[in-house]
Amino acid sequence: MRRSSATRPPISSAVITVTTSLFALYSGLLKGLESVFRTTRSSSRRGGGVLALLVAVYVLLWISRGMSHLARMFVSRQREYRADAIAARLTRDPLSLAEALYAIGYRWRGSGLTAEELESIFIVNPAYCAIDEEAGLFADLFSTHPPLKERLQVLLEMAHTDMERVSKDVEHENNRPRTPAPGIESAMPNPQWMVHRNGAWEGPFDAARIPTLGGMRPEIWVQRLGAADIKMAYEDPDLMNAVNNRDEKAGTCHCPRCNIPLSPVIYEGVETNQCHFCHRILASPNDVERIIIRQEVGFPERITQLAAKIAEEEKIWREGTIKRDPDTMLTCPKCRPQTRKMLRMFYTAAYHVEIDKCLYCGSIWFDKDELEVLQCLIERQTKQK
């Protein structure tokens, strides 16, 4: 959502923006230091010297945050109007700009993610603030973004239309059926087989799981679900393709739990990697943000209840990293050759959904339902605001 300006702003505006952004970085450090205080308060007696140093750093960062708020007072709200006007002049399509601004402003903006303190360089403030929607001297002093409705009204006047049409166009786009990208497998149920092992039928298993079964041979009896005939595994081309590891769609990443190749699937219009046996998902931070921005039509009752329970537990202070037995830590699917472990933590301090994250490549591993619960939780809190 960051702006890439096509024209060079005045030097004074550029200097102010860079200055406020630098001060905002210290606000982010202050937030991280506050979490350190929460984790070290129980051992304050044993580490008095370290705690004193942390207090000194905390005071300096607190002063820097105050200077950051002071610097923001010099950032004019009018620069957003100028940026919108320049964008409309370059694209000659103010209606599309209004639709994009509407979709960004009235959905999840990125609140709770890192760098939200750099609000002055974003199109809209990532964290919703009531003062941004007000006018007057007080709002002009303490807000870096003008009211969203006024910005939309200016663009709509350029396009000779009204707000009702924009909202209908955006909702129509969100409700449009999503088509998987060419050449990428959609998240549809895979064929499954019953396998006769050790004198009994076991399963059902899908083609990705069957090669990991012990004692699997081409001469073993299998039966595809929904089919009446029983045949040997070598007589089923799809199954033999999986057994011989010739499935070209399988990726190089393996599920850290099932030890089978992850397959590319489309989740909410974004390409991710999924284990077809345990249904866990591997995604990059950018892909997760793209998924969250897309508003879901509805959630199952079970997902809604889980999100409500997490929202209730967030009232209790908890650490950002979850303590875990090192022997149970998952190996990152992308960093598997280096056997790098993933840390169990919360997605952000604002959204306490447990995830596994690799600190080297940034990949996020979602257990079943975790990604959907995160979507539900964010939309729930966005609507409350």
Q: What is the mean pLDDT of the chain?
A: 72
| Residue 45 belongs to some domain of the structure | yes
DSSP symbols for 104-142: HHTS---TTSTTTT-GGGBSS-SS--GGGG--SHHHHHH
What is the reported pTM? 0.44
The answer as to whether 65 is a domain residue is yes
Residue 331 has pLDDT above 80, yes or no: yes
Give pLDDT tens digits for 252-308. 787 787 666 788 888 888 889 887 656 789 999 888 888 888 766 678 888 888 888
Same domain, 123 and 215: no
Cα–Cα dist 293/8, whole Å: 29
Residue 20's pLDDT is what? 62
Mean pLDDT, rounded, for 142-157 = 84
- At residue 364 the predicted structure's pLDDT band, cuts being 50, 70 and 90, is very high
Q: Is residue 354 part of a domain?
A: yes
For 360, which DSSP code?
T
Q: Quick one: CA torsion of 62, 68, 71, 73, rounded to 10 degrees?
A: -90
Q: Which long-range contacts (CB under 8 A, 24 or more apart) does 36-40 make?
A: 38/317, 38/319, 39/319
- With CA atoms as reference, report the closest residue to 153 among 105, 107, 108, 111: 105
Residue 321 and residue 260: Cα distance in Å, rounded? 28
Task: Decide if 307 is inside a domain.
Answer: yes
Residues 6+ apart with CB under 8 A from 14: 8
Domain boundary among 174, 205, 225: 174
Instruction: State the pLDDT at residue 179.
Output: 47
Tokens of 45: 């007696």
- At 209 the pLDDT is 74
**Domain shared by 232 and 311, yes or no:** no
The predicted pLDDT at position 341 comes to 87
- Looking at the chain, the whole-number percentage of residues with pLDDT higher than 90 is 2
Q: Can you give the pLDDT at residue 161?
A: 78
CB neighbours of residue 24 within 10 Å: 22
Q: Does 220 share its domain with 347?
A: no
Residue 267, pLDDT score: 85
Digit-coded pLDDT (tens) for 315-327: 554 544 556 566 6
Instruction: Identify which of 321, 339, 319, 341 has the alpha carbon closest to the alpha carbon of residue 329.
Output: 341
Report the domain count for the chain: 3
Q: Are 156 and 225 contained in the same domain?
A: no
pLDDT tens-digit readout, 20-62: 666 666 666 666 666 555 555 544 444 556 667 767 776 776 7
The pLDDT of 164-192, averaged and rounded, is 56
pLDDT of 360 higher than 70: yes
Q: Is residue 252 part of a domain?
A: no
Is 321 contained in some domain?
yes
Query: Are both 63 and 115 inside the same structural domain?
Result: yes
Q: Tens of pLDDT along 223-249?
A: 888 777 778 777 777 776 665 554 444
Residue 41 and residue 156 in one domain: yes
Query: Which of 174, 201, 216 is the last residue before a domain boundary?
Result: 174
- The SS3 call for residue 97 is helix
Q: What range does the domain containing 220 cover? A: 192-243
